[in-house]
Amino acid sequence: MESAPNTNPVPQMLHVESNGTIPNSNHLFSLRSSLSSVKVPNWNGDLNLRSGKKMGLQSKENPKIVHGEVGYVLEDVPHLTDYVPDLPSYPNPLQDNPAYAVVKQYFVNLDDTVAQKIVVHKTSPRGTHFRRAGPRQRVYFESDEVHACIVTCGGLCPGLNTVIREIVCGLFHMYGVTKILGIEGGYRGFYARNTITMTPKTVNDIHKRGGTILGTSRGGHDTSKIVDSIQDRGINQVYIIGGDGTQKGASVIFEEIQRRGLKVAVAGVPKTIDNDIAVIDKSFGFDTAVEEAERAINAAHVEAESVENGIGLVKLMGRYSGFIAMYATLASRDVDCCLIPESPFYLEGKGGLFEFIEKRLKENGHMVLVVAEGAGQELIAESMRSMDHEDASGNKLLLDVGLWLSQKIKDHFARSKKVAINLKYIDPTYMIRAIPGNASDNVYCTLLAHSVIHGAMAGYTGFTVGPVNGRHAYIPFHRITETRNKVVITDRMWARLLSSTNQPSFLSHKDVEDAKTEGEPVTQLLDGENCKDGHHVVDNGLADNGTR
């Protein structure tokens, strides 16, 4: 087979027949022997989609998908040239940047892609890939024409200021961009608040502070007003930092910009302290959150072991996914029981939580209990009148499971009169959210910022960025908002936790079988440890490798 020529890095128009097919499509790919390297043209025009329709306006219902041999699938991201005709390109200024003179290879190969799953059978399809992040030889913005803006939405998270700083400094130092605005107060700041002029000097030391210097909010998403503001201000690069709700909003903004035919790149940096963003290996701020959560657990352990029949109860973040609770428990080794949303538990009767607490107090004289905020909600639904209420971001308002569980434990032991307990309840939620990122997260935030800048400058739009199996990639918005990562309770990582704490699983045989059924692979690719799809998360131990 002949490989598609790649002499010109500018995306080329592809002829499509009237029936929506690509002539001689079997000659479009030259599959290399390595799984990590594929020759895939960077399409600018219509292409043959899975649905058989031509590429028009790109959205969740009309994704940009390229198929290759041996089951290779590229879930590509939109490019400005897909809907802005005759867009000129320019040499990347990085090639003249003295800081990059030491780099052996300035630019990533135009056709490099990253595999979503890296553990495969030798005869299985190659599966889904994403476009590799990094600087390209050609860019679609001249430095002096760029007018960028940055906005942060949703809850706080360690590392937010680091991402802001590195986007500003990266644009300035790598690409010579001088016009950068900070949008205050989240999405509504586009049309209801002031903006901040940002330079490397103004953001020099913000990474040492928690929170976000731009301020944040939930809700306030008015697409027309936001895009009108972008158009009126002459903004042509929009960097949006936030969780899945924020990224859904970014996707809608991109679609409206695309409909209007504006040369505006919309790029997202995913943020969730719960580490439940799909596709990517890990969210920024997660390492910091686990580290700070471990300090709270240590305090609970000191309190519990210092008194007779002491119980230390710590509530950690995790509305839908218990990653912080699980990893902090494994890091601490002082926890006797960890409760997460993915693993049901019950209080009364044989094998229940109360029986386990009694047993552990009898054995050790004290115990430490960690509970994620979303755990046990079905047990308290009766008393929760606001079960169907939501905050401005669309998240369910949850009852405080920590306070509820504390009272239940106290009531149980008061009724049984077997043991007099001393219970200490610790909720470090806002202490964890408000601290600056640690060293690991600061490095990670820098890589995220640089990757998103390279993508926007290269003309990609409608994407978010993040590491997939250790390599940064550009991911369509809908792929990270259509589902959440959750702890797989039939996977080895949860088994390691149960082994560490020696707690019961609280699961019946039916629960285990149901969990296995939900986790059955839907392709021939291997699932479980070191593999991931919408329901299976990478076993990304903190040593191997993050907000609402």
- For residue 244, say whether it is annotated as part of any ligand binding site: yes
pLDDT at residue 532, as a whole number? 43
Q: Where in the chain are the domains?
A: 65-283+437-482, 286-435+489-518
Q: Is the pLDDT reported for residue 533 higher than 60?
A: no
pLDDT at residue 343, as a whole number? 93
Average pLDDT estimate for 280-294? 96
pLDDT at residue 242, as a whole number? 95
Give me the CATH topology for the region 286-435+489-518.
Answer: Rossmann fold (3.40.50)
Average pLDDT estimate for 428-452? 96
Residues 6+ away with beta carbon under 8 Å from 495? none
Average pLDDT estimate for 91-100? 91
- For residue 219, say whether it is annotated as part of any ligand binding site: yes
Instruction: Average the pLDDT over each of 144-148, 376-380, 507-511, 527-531 and give the range with the smallest value.
Output: 527-531
| CA separation for the pair 128, 116 (Å, rounded) | 6
| CA separation for the pair 434, 210 (Å, rounded) | 5
Q: Is the pLDDT reported for residue 547 higher than 60?
A: no
Residues 6+ away with beta carbon under 8 Å from 211? 156, 160, 161, 434
- For residue 256, say whether it is annotated as part of any ligand binding site: no
From residue 364, alpha-carbon distances to 69, 302, 357, 383, 460 in Å are 60, 14, 10, 34, 58
| CA separation for the pair 449, 207 (Å, rounded) | 13
What is the per-residue pLDDT across 381-403, written as a single tens digit (0 to 9) for each? 755 554 455 555 555 656 789 99
Q: Which residue has the higher pLDDT, 385 or 156?
A: 156
User: In this structure, are residues 193 and 185 in contact, taking their beta carbons and an 8 Å threshold?
Assistant: yes
Percentage of the chain beyond pLDDT 70 is 78
Q: Which one-letter DSSP state was computed for residue 241? A: E
Q: Is the pLDDT reported for residue 49 higher than 80?
A: no
Phi and psi torsions of 510, nearest 5°: -65, -40
Residues 6+ away with beta carbon under 8 Å from 404? 376, 380, 383
Q: Is the pLDDT reported for residue 517 higher than 90?
A: no
- For residue 155, say whether it is annotated as part of any ligand binding site: yes
pLDDT at residue 8, as a whole number? 39
- For residue 433, say whether it is annotated as part of any ligand binding site: yes
- For residue 533, say whether it is annotated as part of any ligand binding site: no
Range 24-32, long-range pairs (CB < 8 A, 24+ positions) = 26/1, 26/69, 27/1, 27/2, 28/4, 28/68, 29/1, 29/3, 29/4, 29/68, 29/69, 29/72, 30/1, 30/2, 30/3, 30/4, 31/68, 31/69, 31/70, 31/72
- For residue 490, say whether it is annotated as part of any ligand binding site: no
Average pLDDT estimate for 420-448? 96
C-alpha angle 130-135-141 in degrees, rounded to nearest 5: 110
- For residue 176, say whether it is annotated as part of any ligand binding site: no
Confidence class for position 525, pLDDT limits 50, 70, 90: very low
| CA separation for the pair 226, 184 (Å, rounded) | 13
65-283+437-482 and 286-435+489-518 agree in CATH topology? yes
Instruction: Average the pLDDT over each of 59-73, 139-153, 427-441, 482-496 and give the range with the smallest value.
Output: 59-73
Structure tokens at 383: 């008393």
Q: Is the pLDDT reported for residue 166 higher than 70?
A: yes
From residue 14, alpha-carbon distances to 5, 18, 45, 231 in Å are 13, 13, 6, 30
Q: Which residue has the higher pLDDT, 327 or 541?
A: 327
Say how many C-beta atoms besides its own lie within 10 A of residue 59's C-beta.
Answer: 19
Q: Is 274 a catalytic residue?
A: yes
Q: Is the pLDDT reported for residue 442 higher than 90?
A: yes
Q: Is the pLDDT reported for residue 111 higher than 80?
A: yes
Q: Is the pLDDT reported for residue 531 higher than 70?
A: no
Confidence class for position 454, pLDDT limits 50, 70, 90: very high
Q: Is the pLDDT reported for residue 335 higher than 60?
A: yes
Average pLDDT of the chain?
Answer: 83
pLDDT at residue 324, as a whole number? 98
Instruction: Average the pLDDT over each of 101-115, 291-305, 359-373, 435-449 and give the range with the smallest value.
Output: 101-115
Confidence class for position 48, pLDDT limits 50, 70, 90: very low
Phi and psi torsions of 515, nearest 5°: -65, -40
Q: Which residue has the higher pLDDT, 213 or 33?
A: 213
Q: How far is CA 490 from the centre of its chain?
A: 22
Q: How far is CA 541 from the centre of its chain?
A: 16
User: In this structure, are residues 127 and 525 in contact, taking their beta carbons and an 8 Å threshold?
Assistant: yes
Residue with tokens 């003309």: 459
CATH number of 65-283+437-482: 3.40.50.450
Residue with tokens 């990893």: 327
Three-state SS sequence of 376-431: CCCCCHHHCCCCCCECCCCCECCCCHHHHHHHHHHHHHHHHCCCCCEEEEECCHHH
Range 357-365, long-range pairs (CB < 8 A, 24+ positions) = 357/311, 357/409, 358/418, 358/419, 360/336, 361/309, 361/311, 361/419, 361/421, 364/336, 365/305, 365/308, 365/309, 365/310
Strands 265-270 and 366-372 come out as unpaired
Of the candidates 274, 276, 281, 533, the residue annotated as catalytic is 274
- For residue 384, say whether it is annotated as part of any ligand binding site: no
| CA separation for the pair 328, 350 (Å, rounded) | 28
